[in-house]
Amino acid sequence: MSNPPFGFGFGLPDPDNSSSGPGNNSSGSGGQGGDPFQQLGQMLSQLGQMFSQAGSSSGPVNYDLAKQIALQRLASTSDDGDAKPGMGFASATGDAQQGDTAVRDASHLAELWLDEATILPAGATQTVAWTAKDWIEKTLPTWQRLCDPVAEQVSSAWTEALPAEAKQAAGPLMSMLGQMGGMAFGSQLGNALGDLGAEVLTSSDVGLPLGPEATSALLPANVEKFTEGLERPASEVLVFLAAREAAHQRLFAHVPWLRQRLLATVEEFARGISVDVSGLEQLAGQIDPTDPQSIEQAMSSGLFEPQTTPEQKAALTRLETLLALVEGWVDVVVADAVGNRLPGADALRETLRRRRASGGPAEQTFATLVGLELRPRRMRAAATLWQMVGDRHGTEQRDHLWSHPDLMPTTDDLDEPTDFADRLGGTVIGADVDPIAELEKTERAEAEAAEAASGSAPADSDAGNAGADDTATDDTAGGDSAPHDSGTGERGSGERGSDDGNDPDRPSDGNG
């Protein structure tokens, strides 16, 4: 992992850092790095704002500070964070209203095409065009749900690791350290959101349902920057991205367990975070509570970088697999929907894949959030699996796999998609089929097969049942009920067959 998990990297906001991303050119003509006194003034001003807002933070992350830093960083990396150009449908002035119309038209067309590629109905009830500032404001509540569990665990790990004497001696400083932690987390999150806001193309660009439910959102200004150099019409790119956003919305709207499963996996990772107590003695000699710079240096030194436990590795693997399955499904469905309709669909599909492979917004966010770097190989493997299942068993059975998490492919299935598709050969999953009942049916069949292979003789069971109860009616003899009769022989001669009543599916050993 190249980046420590969220909360373990501390840094004061530096909106003027020209190395934060590609294409961020330094403005101004005054020499390399600009006026040092101006930079110092900005840093002190931002530091003062951080301390003035520290008291208003009531949680493990100062989200007010995060929002402020994100907007400042966004303003320093874009000409106008409120711009919504028309994406080729409007005049050269970039009329925002015409840009909104272009987004709605593209989304409407994409929804019509998706109806033929998936059985999941439309999931968005409204389609909107966001600015980068809109994206930060609308997605911040979801980021709070994702970040709070990790930040809370980090904060509690720090305080719980302190000896009791140190806690008593610290006194009021403990509260100050908590506020400093919230500021540190808010600063890190704000910088990450500022970078993301300048790059994301849709509300689901990072693979998570970040925006409000049932809302499909695209960022025309960012889409326009993304289109530069692609040699494709802007309208074609917009429709393709609208189709991806609509496909994500269908999945998140009609797979009710998916949203909670993603968030719960992040929480599971957070519960395993711990701090090396042996490093506290070294910290005590490095930190001066009156000098914020010493706190920054101690936090950035890697002193408290956690060791990933086996349980955390398992949680990260599940999160990676689930995100890969989401992205792979969207990739396949959108390709089926627009492949024959947009001349540049294949090129756009590969462009987005390479964008992920080179470290796009999703990878950067998760590397900062939980120390997870999404592997493009997993996404390609997931797309291969979904394509194979759809080709062999049809769209309906492919999409009904989302009806229950136990039916979903696993990490091992991504390695062997052919085996997974073969296992589905004898199973038909429809809208009127209970997934749990299907799993129980499969387990019963496997148990019966194992018993038959061990040499149990069903005929003996039938013979014992024949004398168990002479008053049995004809409709209870034979069929699937025969094995169950071996456990109901109380009214017979009280033979040992009644001991098997604890396992009604187990045939008796011929105790007739």
**pLDDT value for 103:** 95
**Which residue ranges of the chain lie beneath pLDDT 50?**
1-2, 7-33, 80, 86, 89-94, 431, 456-512
Residue among 361, 298, 447 nearest 135 (CA): 361
Residues 322, 209: contact at Cβ < 8 Å? no
**What is the tens place of the pLDDT at every residue in 387-442?**
999 999 999 999 999 999 999 999 999 999 999 999 997 655 554 555 566 567 66
Give me the pLDDT at residue 398, please. 97
DSSP 216: E
Which residue, 307, 296, 302, 315, is CA-closest to 366? Answer: 315
The answer to pTM > 0.85 is: no
Is there a contact between 97 and 189 (Cβ–Cβ < 8 Å)? Answer: no
Which residues, 6+ apart, have CB-to-CB distance to 27 below 8 Å?
A: none
Long-range Cβ pairs for the range 143-148 (8 Å, 24+): 143/189, 143/193, 143/210, 144/59, 144/61, 144/63, 145/263, 146/208, 146/263, 146/266, 146/369, 147/6, 147/61, 147/185, 147/189, 147/369, 148/59, 148/60, 148/61
Q: What is the pLDDT of residue 127?
A: 95
CA-based nearest residue to 64, from 158, 206, 205, 179: 179
Output the pLDDT for position 273: 74
Q: Could you give the CA distance from residue 493 to residue 84 in angstroms, rounded to a whole number? A: 85
- Looking at residue 102, what is its pLDDT? 93
Distance (Å, whole) CA 173 – CA 286: 16
Which element (helix H / strand E) includes 215?
A: strand 215-218
**Residue 157 contacts residue 92 (beta carbons within 8 Å):** no
pLDDT of residue 223: 95
The rounded distance, in Å, linking the Cα atoms of 349 and 344 is: 9
